[in-house]
Structure 1
């Protein structure tokens, strides 16, 4: 029998339990300030931070983020929350391929570790950006229980509100910065829903900290299937991909037509043929570099990824358990229009996934009055456009835009596909900067 006094044994046992908890339980650590990254030559010329925010304590659900400060005036510039589509795509895709501050040297790549280069057209020229891996299971976000990985549109929205409040609590210097939420593709279902949830949280619950929401933006957004899918077919017909006969048959027998194609549902392929096509697109060499880079142990260590929380990183984790319980955001857009939040909706005009045809149709359905007629807007890569000219040659027109009542701006980006900034980085930075400043495009 031990001669240790009972009280001493109690405290020793308690200490042992506490040490086990510290070793075995994942806890939120301080954000990681990153000065160097594997593949980038020299110190980073911008401020990069990564970290986790726990958004569901009972299931150990943590959302991972990358935060890049504005290169202009981080204390005053807007704070942007950027999310990818999917659902289940990592925001690292936005950083590496679209509007983030670095990119791969694709042309110079031969084999081995990819080289990173600075992207001068980064949107962090004019804003602070939080690139978030949402929902749980995408990118480097994780949960400690099986239940924690189960998500949905509404759950993802509520978790992002929790994320923002906790993140701003840890970064109070950004509380007064104008807040914008945005993203692209499937996140078109999340963005307006999140904006409304923030609005309601501020107005009705009064929970601190209040979020200084000033607007939202969405690129090539999924909005409502009756507009999105029909717009895809009209787009294919207009581009000469569908014959008149097929187009007429599709209009008459759309359900049957949809079963033989992706039917506009590219994030959740409904059949083998569509799934194979999407996989072929996702397996392009350009995107393969992100797999090589993000799954490198040195990269993970630099980013502060917790060991054992994530297996293979995937650009889009389309196999996560996810319920699509928001079927349309039209009423949500209408509510936000009545509240007067500025919004920017844009399309790459060569995107067939959520085409400009469908986007323009759902915007028209909101029955907003036009305040600035359809017109071209100057492109930074072209000569200034004479907006008073009665006749404009198509080669001299960079983009088109129109504005509606209640602060809604719509724009197209000529020659861009589904991930618009990936195709036209200069034009998209100019568009984004103009809109943030409150100036017309």
Structure 2
């Protein structure tokens, strides 16, 4: 499996350490001066060989040799991943016959279907050695920009964050368009102000978890001080800078670990990049709704058409959604899957791990294409981070084509 972290611009180490990789932070034994890793008992490497790729250039430890090479977009970064995969298989030909799956989550929902289509089309025209592609895996994927963002308000209503009255009023005045609102539609703008008052302090990545303000977190303070100061083990934590129990605070350990000399040497990071700080997500590449990005152009607003074309291939797809995610709510994912007009093979039903409901699933098909959709009960935006045991179980069963 080739695994891409979303963002764009977020490092593969984030997926490795916090989602599906063989190691994770041992929070019980770690200090900010000395983060400690431990084995992840629910690593997806128990089910597949996994390549974790920093992409596009500027993500994680990846770098370019010219400033122009950092300027990219959805289609060009997808082609770069395809080129990387072909070159990797040239260098490691013993893996050519292995079944290949491509996986990602979050913003990977934009770039991954483009990559998978390139692989299939490359095989069909015989432009290169045959890649034994079998399918793809996507978690809480950005897919249709408009639909994904507009689904947040119906989702908030379903999850009791908005009253019936507020939702009906917003729906009536905005007509389902909550993002690109006509500036003359005062009734809609007023209704959205009420919605914002109800949802602004909700942690969208997992609506049950606390939201902490960046200005008070330890991470932002470390950014101001300069992360490399941690190399000298001189950090003292004042009471107002204590970790607040926010999930984002967990990520600070990866900053300290990845920027340590020992980790860089162990990972064989090139010395010429020694002056570059590793960050979990490069903000010059990362997508933020309604904001211009310095180095990355979002030139693909929807990949539904790519999924539709892939449904004509001999291909398997697993699409899963943590059901407590309000970044990309499961509602929008179900909506675009239904728009593919696939036949329903197995209708909505619960799936189980250890005799407990782990989520709900449906299975669709069209000729030689089949798609399994699954919710992960209690999961957030990166579902394996929140429900690792359930997600590994889901993947292992899907890979061998066992029903969830």
TM-fit CA distance, 1:202: 1.4
Counterpart position of 2:141: 221
Partner of 1:136: 57
**Counterpart among 253, 275, 280 of residue 315 in structure 1:** 280
Paired residues for 1:216-255 under 5 Å: 216-251=136-171, 252-253=173-174, 254=178, 255=181
The separation in 2 between residues aligned to 1:353 and 1:89, in whole angstroms, is 16
1:334 aligns with 308
Asked whether the 8 Å contact 1:402–1:411 carries over to 2, the reply is yes
The TM-score, its normalising length taken from structure 2, stands at: 0.79
Cα distance in 2 for partners of 1:407, 1:274 equals 42
Match of 1:194 in 2: 115
1:52-67 → structure 2 map (5 Å cutoff): none
Aligned match for 1:408, one of 371, 375, 391: 371
What is the deviation of 1:114?
Answer: 0.6
Is the Cα contact below 8 Å between 1:169 and 1:209 reproduced in 2?
no
Q: Alpha carbons of 1:141 and 1:239: their partners in 2 closer, same or farther (altered >3 Å)?
A: same
Is the 1:402–1:410 Cα contact (8 Å) retained in structure 2?
A: yes
In the alignment of these two chains, the number of paired residues is: 340
Choose 147-156 or 283-292, whichever is displaced more: 283-292
Cα 1:327–1:340 change in 2 (3 A) is same
Higher relative contact order (CA 8 A, sep 6+): 2
For the residues of structure 2 that align with 1:126 and 1:198, how far apart are their CA atoms? 22
Q: Give the structure with higher Rg (CA).
A: 1
TM-aligned CA deviation for residue 200 of structure 1:
1.2
Distance 2:82 2:282 in 1: 22
Using the alignment, how far apart are the partners of 2:11 and 2:31 within structure 1? 25
Number of the residue aligned with 1:210 = 130
Superposed CA deviations along residues 291-344 of structure 1, whole A, max 9, x for unmatched, are 010111111111011123261111011213001111101111011011131000
Structure 1: segments with no counterpart, 5+ residues: 1-79, 268-272, 384-395
The answer (yes or no) to whether the contact 2:122–2:128 under 8 Å persists in 1 is: no
SS in 2 for 1:378: strand
CA deviation profile, 1:128-168 (whole Å, cap 9, x unmatched): 00000011110111101010101110011110111001101
In structure 2, C-alpha distance between the alignment counterparts of 1:408 and 1:111, rounded to whole Å: 43
Cα RMSD, aligned residues only: 2.6
CA separation of 1:106/1:127 partners in 2, compared to 1, >3 Å: closer, same or farther? same
Query: Measured at CA, do residues 249 and 274 of structure 1 come closer, stay the same or move farther in structure 2, by a change above 3 Å?
Result: farther
Q: 1: CA distance between counterparts of 2:390 and 2:155?
A: 23
Bigger Cα displacement from structure 2, 179-188 vs 397-406: 397-406
Q: Which deviations, in whole Å up to 9, do the C-alpha atoms of 1:168-221 show, x marking residues without a partner?
A: 1000110000111111000000111110011111112x2322211110010000
Partner of 2:235: none
Are the equivalent residues in 2 in contact too, given 1:168–1:209 (CA < 8 A)? no
Instruction: Report the Cα offset of residue 243 of structure 1.
Output: 2.6
- Structure 2 regions of 5+ residues with no counterpart? 182-188, 206-211, 221-244, 286-294
Cα distance in 2 for partners of 1:322, 1:276 equals: 26
CA distance, structure 1, for counterparts of residue 375 and residue 255 of structure 2: 31
Are the counterparts in 2 of residues 214 and 341 from structure 1 also a CA contact under 8 Å? yes
Secondary structure, aligned partner of 2:266: helix
C-alpha separation between the residues in 1 aligned to 2:27 and 2:371? 37
**Deviation (angstroms), 1:117:** 0.4
Matched residue of 2:251: which SS?
A: helix
